[in-house]
Structure 1
Amino acid sequence: MDSLTQIVLGIATAELVAGKKLHNKTFLYGAVLGTIPDLDIVVGKFMSAVGGVAIHRGLSHSLLFFVFLAPVLGCLISKIEKEKINFNSATLLAFWCLVTHVVLDVFTSWGTQIFWPLEHRFALKTIFVIDPLYTIPLLISLIFVWKNSDYFLRRKYAIRGLISSSSYLLLTCILKLFALQQFETALQNQNFAYQELIVKPTAFNCILWNANVATPKGYYLADYSLFDSQPIRFTFYPKNEELEEKLVNSDDFQRLKKISEGWYLVTEHNNRLFFNDLRFGLLNDQPENPQFAFSYEFVNEAHGTLVAHEVPKAKRDGKALLQKIVTRIKGN
Structure 2
Amino acid sequence: MDSLTQIVLGAAVGEAVLGKKVGNKAMLYGAIAGTIPDLDVLSSYVTDTVTALEIHRGFTHSILFSILFAPILGWLVSRYEKYKRVKGWSWLFFWAFVTHPILDAHTTWGTQLFWPLDLRLAFKTIFVIDPLYTLPFLIFLILAMLQKRTSSRRQFYNRMGLLISTIYLALTFILKYVAFKKFETALDNQNISYLQMDTRPSPLNTILWSVNVETDNAYLLADYSFFDTKPISFVSYPKNHELIEDLLFNEKMQRMIHVSKGWYTITKRNGELYFNDLRFGLLNLEPGSDTFVFQFLIKINNETNQIDFIEQPKGRQDAKKLMSDLWKRMLGN
TM-score (norm 1): 0.96
CA distance in 2, matches of 1:65, 1:32: 16
| Runs of at least 5 residues in structure 1 that lack an aligned partner in the other structure | none
Segments of structure 2 that go 5 or more residues without pairing to the other structure are none
Q: Which letter maps to 1:86?
A: R
The aligned residue for residue 324 of structure 2 is: 323
Kept in 1, the 8 Å contact 2:148–2:154? The answer is: yes
Q: Distance in 2 between matches of 1:69 and 1:285?
A: 43
Amino acid at match of 1:318: A
Alignment of 1:3-18 (within 5 A): 3-18=3-18
- Encode CA deviations 1:200-253: one digit per residue, 9 max, x unaligned: 000000000000111121111110000011111111111112212143254332
Q: Are the equivalent residues in 2 in contact too, given 1:217–1:239 (CA < 8 A)? A: yes
User: Structure 2 CA distance, aligned partners of 1:159 and 1:77?
Assistant: 25
Amino acid at match of 2:85: N
Q: Which residue of 1 aligns with 2:256?
A: 256
Maintained 8 Å contact 1:222/1:234: yes
Identity of aligned residues (%): 48
Structure 1 residue 112 displacement after superposition: 0.7
3-state SS, counterpart of residue 294 of structure 2: strand
The Cα shift of 1:285 comes to 4.7
Quick check: 2:22–2:149 contact (8 Å CA) kept in 1? Answer: no
Moved more, 169-178 or 4-13: 169-178
Partner of 1:72: 72
* Amino acid paired to 1:330: L
Task: Go from structure 1 to structure 2 and tell me whether the alpha carbon gap of 1:32 and 1:150 turns closer, same or farther (over 3 Å shift).
Answer: closer
CA RMSD of aligned residues (A): 1.5
Tell me which residue corresponds to 2:186.
186
The correspondence of residues 236-251 of structure 1 with structure 2, limited to 5 A, is 236-251=236-251
Aligned ranges for residues 118-197 of structure 1 at < 5 Å?
A: 118-151=117-150, 152-197=152-197
Deviates more, 1:146-155 or 1:59-68: 146-155
Partner SS state of residue 295, structure 1: strand
Aligned match of 1:115: 114
Deviates more, 1:99-108 or 1:35-44: 35-44
TM-fit CA distance, 1:153: 2.0
Aligned with 2:304: secondary structure? Answer: helix
Q: Deviations over 1:176-212 (max 9, x none)?
A: 1110111111111111111111100000000000001
Partner AA of 2:118 in structure 1: E
Name the structure 2 match of 1:84: 83
Corresponding residue for residue 105 of structure 2: 106
With normalisation by structure 2, the TM-score equals 0.95
Matches within 5 A, 1:34-73: 34-73=34-73
- Residue 15 of structure 1 aligns to which amino acid in structure 2? E
How many residues are matched?
331
2:265 is paired with a residue whose SS is strand
Q: CA deviation at 1:270?
A: 0.8
Paired residues of 2:137 and 2:162 also in contact (CA < 8 A): yes
Instruction: Please list, as runs of the form range in 1=range in 2, the aligned pairs for 1:194-273 lying within 5 A after superposition.
Output: 194-273=194-273
